[in-house]
Chain A
Amino acid sequence: MVYFEMAKTVVKSLINGPSTIRYPAEPAKEYPISRGHVTIDPARCISCGMCMRKCPADAICVRRDEKLWEIDLFKCHVCNCCVEVCPVHCLTMDTDYRPAFSKHDGVKVVKITYVKPEKKKPVKKPAEEKSEE
């Protein structure tokens, strides 16, 4: 029978310092590819709506006529899909985790500057298929 197998670990814990990060004093761990939250550069967005169509959580809404790009931070599950599909790379994934909210003000609305002109119906279908590939 073996007793006190834990003794070695206990002694080690007594000698070594704490294993946890002392959070506010020490910064939290972050890596260059950590997925924190989505940010947009409104000057480059061409309002193509690709991010809206591909988002698995339906978190993004692009309103062309009002020149608005909206993201519902409560719905977004930070999957990086929109960042990958954006054709002009105006979306980026920030490594900071988004701050906590105390009330439902999760919808972030961004005014975009350029709006792509609407295409006519017959031209739209092949163009859409091409962009999906």
Chain B
Amino acid sequence: MSKKIVVPFGPQHPVLPEPLHLDLVVEDEKVKEAIPGVGYIHRGLETLVQKREYPEYVYIAERICGICSFIHGMTYCQGVETMMNVEVPERAEFLRVIWSEYSRMHSHLLWLGLFADSMGFENLFMDAWRLREHVLDDMEATTGGRVIQGSAKVGGVRRDISSEKLDEMVTGLEGIRGELKDMMDVFLLDSSVKSRLRNIGMLSPEDAYELGAVGPTLRGSSVASDVRMNGYAAYDRLHFEPVVEDGCDCYARCAVRAKELFSSIDLIKEAAQKIPDGPIEVKVTGKPEGEYFSRAEQPRGEVIHYVKGNGTKKLARHRVRTPTMANIPPLVKMLEGCEFADVPVITLTIDPCIGCLER
């Protein structure tokens, strides 16, 4: 007769640089139940909104997460701008799209590398991170920061990109498209990778929808939902199609991220062609009053920034719902009944970011 035992996974685990803790109830090498535990890195960032003036809080909003940094800052700015009825210049909106898509590429390449590492494919891991370096170089050259961009601002963006630099960036991206393609073939066609990913961590479309999954986790379960379809920033002026896969397993979620890399390159290319000339910011004066729910699509899924102003320079409330928060219940569902050895791979498919989750 087999016996149930509890195996702790994390908060320090070799595959996951994030302090996520899971208590795995294991019976015969099968996971019966997974109980998530979070709360290791709470930083109290949301309270700081009452101590910093709203333009300075952008710097703090950006530091919620080191990977979707720009998108966090941009979502917060969108919230404040809508509350204050600020019309953002068109050029700034296009620049926001370009940096958002760069962040997406950077995050997806990082994730693909970590994912290869969790499967035990070290070579692929290094290859993914080598390509990510091109993206980081472009980001540092245009924003001044490799990871924390610091370019979002209430009323626009802080830095402009010259048209020569834009052309150079597009040419560079076209150059790495071929290399990306080679790498994607390994992820999507190689038989050893397939045997490691197919039919594990199943999440049916109904479960994904009901448990509130977002981002690639949801789209890997054949639900076409992406906040970019709402057309925030300049997405309404670009051709955008969400990437959807219907495998419902780890392979499908990996494929969504892999294909989104190419869609990001296309979006950047199109944005670089359509970007209008003009100012990049408007002067914002006054004190915000009211409330707004600002939504955006991060590499990991939908993020919500709720901002509430009370007629002073300091906002009254700021609340963030990050994609990892939404993806934890689907993760628990995926882990039920899986093999013990598959836990790291399945956990990584939601791309957990505990820094985002706890703030």
Contact = CB atoms under 8 A, between A and B. Distances in A.
B155 interface: no
B144 A34 contact: yes
Contacts, number: 64
B186 interface: yes
Interface in A1-20: 1-6, 8-10, 19
B56 interface: yes
Contacts of B277: none
Contacts of B143: 33
A6 B183 CA distance: 8
B140 A133 contact: no
Contact of B124 (A1, A6, A29): A6
Interface stretch (A64-72, A76-84, A103-111): A76-84
Q: What range describes how many residues of B lie at the interface?
A: 20 to 34
B285 A81 contact: no
Contacts of B123: 6, 9-10
Contacts of A8: 182
A3 B150 contact: no
Interface in A75-100: 77-81, 84, 93
Given A3-B190, A35-B145, A35-B150, A77 B124 contact: no
A54 interface: yes
Contact of A81 (B56, B142, B313): B56
Contact of A54 (B56, B60, B133, B144): B56
A23 interface: no
DSSP class of B's interface residues: helix, strand, loop or mixed? helix
Given A2-B190, A3-B190, A35-B150, A9 B182 contact: yes
B168 interface: no
B190 A6 contact: yes
Interface in B124-160: 124, 127, 130, 133, 137, 140-145, 148, 150, 158-159
B50 to A, nearest CB: 14
Contacts of A93: 144
Contact of A56 (B52, B137, B148): B52
A31 B144 contact: yes
Contacts of A78: 145
Contacts of B150: 35, 79-80
Given A6-B124, A56-B59, A79-B150, A33 B144 contact: yes
A9 B186 contact: yes
Contacts of B185: 2, 5
Given A5-B186, A34-B144, A35-B145, A19 B191 contact: no
A10 B285 CA distance: 57
B144 A80 contact: yes
Nearest to A80: B150
Nearest to B313: A132
Interface string B164-191: 0000000000000000001101100111
Interface of B: 52, 56-57, 59-60, 63, 123-124, 127, 130, 133, 137, 140-145, 148, 150, 158-159, 182-183, 185-186, 189-192, 285, 313
Given A9-B183, A79-B148, A81-B59, 8 more contacts: A6-B124, A10-B123, A31-B140, A33-B141, A33-B159, A80-B144, A81-B56, A132-B313
Closest 6 CB pairs of A and B: A5-B190, A33-B144, A1-B191, A56-B59, A5-B186, A2-B189
